[in-house]
Structure 1
């Protein structure tokens, strides 16, 4: 009989040793194991439960049994909820801090109830020694909170089994051994606990510490063969929902069947009520724009969406086909990539490269590039091209009298007046500090002179209102036209500059041409 008692205690001790081994393994590999801290605590409370049960088996008095029972409940109360937390982490289910805290409320109350049971008897109504043929044990009459604790424990174990079982079809074959191990790690203790609670265990002994020898051995086997815990599959749903890119899933008829959280942020009007409808019909309501042409496989297009707050967002839309296992077309994926910052940066670089920072019209470099293209095209078509150079009269005097800030206001004012007169197909640029240039496609020298005269007159009649009072601004103009095929941009601008010099020599606020004089 003594050897049988020793065998029972030794078997329980083996379970404790295996649990301890798992705990040490998790500690030394904690940097590689997702949720290593939870796993270590989970294993630690199990080991406390097992060793406390072994000491309880070797106890000789009721007081010793009670003391070791309190120690046991460190594991009995907290192990199920820690196991459930570990499973939630394994399958990638996000749980809020509030929910996690709530999960530990009943185990904490259970621990208090067990420690203080002699005062209220809500956990055990009575606890008496019972002699059997093998070893000393107790006759237990359960209290109200014992039922609450048992229900909660069984629920945690059952929830773990259900959650893991639901992952079966979503888990690749390479990871199913891990899944089976984790399911058994929950299912076997659950059945054992149920047998014990129903009073069906041999001699009224708790079988859970014994079966943990089996589950611990399975964990060790899985760690050595499938690298359990260090290689953890990530649920597809978790990947889908955590992607920064928006993903819309369409069926073969282009009906909306799914979308992730990122798309909901990109298209705030999108909700589950749209599922089942054709995306082409929904798109104008969601974006205020027609559906982009991305039906072709692997096509890509960039769209701009105005949000209600007034801010605009740019998204790159990519399309790809989804095929079934037999290669048949199952639907398509639309991926929305936020390129707002990238687009804004490109626009800023474009502004710096193409446009003058103060006036927002073309800069000298861009004007020269586009004017050469205009001249080449005009030569091929046999059309004339005319150029106008002009600058602000006595601009240095304005700067010296009123300051550079007012000087900048004058420059912007001159540009604004010009833009009300010139046509969209004309090139308008800031050529220098207070000097501007115009390229007029298909315009003769006479037409260029007439346009310059209209600008001159408008400037003269449109004073600028400033804090210093009204400032009247005038400009001098020089115009030139291409007549020969060998005319270059450089030669035409030299002719326009020479005409401008003649306008200044003639008293300023005038228009001069390379051949004739047109003035007020």
Structure 2
């Protein structure tokens, strides 16, 4: 019995040494370990419990056993709660100070009960040597608070196991070893404590300190092989999930390995069922865009995805190659950055720079720029270019009579009617307030005059329906054509303006050709 006891005490002392080693390791690595202070205290109280139990086994009197029992409960009382806090920190679940303080209520009461047990016997009713013979093992009769404390301890250990186990599916395979180690660190002492409370251990020995020898060894192994404590995968998972950018992880063959919640919201069709499949095959259906070149990390690419409400979402796609320790490609990362706001702002600025805000056709600045190009290209090909300048007749009277809102409707109405006649080769712009201009590549003066007459007739025959009733809108036109001597754009527009002025002098609602004003009947 003596040699067995010596061996058992030696194993317990070894467990205490391992626990102490972990505590010192955590202290020296405290800057690298999240929640290191709590973890150090957790290991310290476990160490106190283990060594106190070893000293208890070496005691010869009930008084000494009671004294070391009080020291033991420094660890037994507080270790389960500290373990819960360490686990919550590990899985990145914040806990308020008030809640943390409330968890210590029962352990504090337990310490008080154990320390003052001789006065009330609510924790141990009796502590006696087994068979009345002095020795390391005693028989106890438990009190009411012992049951409360036992239930609380068991519940705390079970809660720790459940919290850790709930993270199993969320934890990457590379980090599951350390997660399994932490689960065992909670589960094995819980089972050992349960067996002890059931009274089925040999000679009534407490197996928990011995089990801690095993769990401490597992912790040391996990630290050496997976850098447990200095790498917290659950916290990394939280960072991964909290990123605003969408992240997709691919293996070397382009198969989907993982993705975060942000990209799941960006691409609603992306789900766990696609994991293990080639992303290239499902990408067109997910985005409606070509699959990005994942092997060009320096090239920014773009995808346009239609949202549920039908509006477009623009995502900039950047890729990076993931390499193994040997430098070989192990996979790829795709990062999707939402640039919808920037894209829409850019489009708005483009609209302001290129287009008229009310009619959405080209503005004067863009017309002049593009017309010079059309005129130059026509000159190079020896083809004529014609210009039509027109404005709305009596537009000031419309504004004065019906108001500027109706005047705006008239302007939009004119553009709508024109777009029913002109084709894509013609350059159409708003030249001024109620003035419009057309550039017609490879068109003679007579051909342009015929187009102008078609627009004039269509406008006259298409009244605008307003809240004030129907308004007949008419316009006067001036047409000019480039010649082989190569007039400037300014000269041609001046000729068209002169023809327009002559058409107005002749009674409005008619087409005038440069130096050849025509009545509205002349081109029908």
TM-score normalised over the length of structure 2? 0.69
Distance 1:487 1:250, change over 3 A: farther
- Equivalent residues of 2:70, 2:111 under 8 A apart: no
Tell me which of 284, 294, 297 is aligned to 2:295: 297
- State the distance in 2 between where 1:304 and 1:167 align: 32
- State the distance in 2 between where 1:492 and 1:72 align: 98
- Equivalent residues of 1:247, 1:259 under 8 A apart: yes
- Equivalent residues of 1:192, 1:207 under 8 A apart: no
**1:254-293 matches, cutoff 5 A:** 254-287=254-287, 289=288, 292-293=290-291
Cα drift, residue 35 of structure 1: 5.5
- Equivalent residues of 1:158, 1:187 under 8 A apart: no
Query: Secondary structure of 1:304's match?
Result: strand
Cα drift, residue 365 of structure 1: 0.7
Query: Secondary structure of 1:286's match?
Result: helix
- State the distance in 2 between where 1:463 and 1:158 align: 76
Cα drift, residue 354 of structure 1: 0.6
Which stretches in structure 1 are left out of the alignment for 5+ residues?
1-13, 90-94
- Match of 1:149? 153
**1:344-493 matches, cutoff 5 A:** 344-493=344-493
- State the distance in 2 between where 1:308 and 1:238 align: 27
How many pairs are equivalent? 480
- State the distance in 2 between where 1:325 and 1:242 align: 27
Tell me which of 86, 89, 112 is aligned to 2:89: 86
- Equivalent residues of 1:301, 1:316 under 8 A apart: yes
Distance 1:412 1:201, change over 3 A: farther
After superposition, what is the alpha-carbon deviation per residue over 1:62-87, rounded to whole angstroms, capped at 9, x for unaligned? 99999888876651441221222233
Distance 1:305 1:332, change over 3 A: same
**1:220-239 matches, cutoff 5 A:** 237-238=237-238
Cα drift, residue 465 of structure 1: 1.9
Query: Secondary structure of 1:443's match?
Result: coil
Distance 1:155 1:344, change over 3 A: closer
Cα drift, residue 272 of structure 1: 2.2
Distance 1:337 1:152, change over 3 A: same
Cα drift, residue 508 of structure 1: 1.4
**1:313-352 matches, cutoff 5 A:** 313-322=313-322, 331-352=331-352
- State the distance in 1 between where 2:451 and 2:70 align: 105
- State the distance in 1 between where 2:470 and 2:103 align: 81
Cα drift, residue 492 of structure 1: 1.0
- Match of 1:249? 250
- Equivalent residues of 1:476, 1:500 under 8 A apart: yes
**1:41-60 matches, cutoff 5 A:** none
After superposition, what is the alpha-carbon deviation per residue over 1:351-393, rounded to whole angstroms, capped at 9, x for unaligned? 1111111111111111111111111211222211111111111
- Match of 1:499? 499
- State the distance in 2 between where 1:104 and 1:199 align: 34
Cα drift, residue 262 of structure 1: 2.4
- Match of 1:7? none
Cα drift, residue 296 of structure 1: 6.7
Cα drift, residue 451 of structure 1: 0.9
Distance 1:125 1:231, change over 3 A: closer
**1:58-97 matches, cutoff 5 A:** 74-89=77-92, 95=93
- State the distance in 1 between where 2:461 and 2:330 align: 69
Which stretches in structure 2 are left out of the alignment for 5+ residues?
1-16
- Equivalent residues of 1:427, 1:439 under 8 A apart: yes
- State the distance in 1 between where 2:89 and 2:394 align: 80
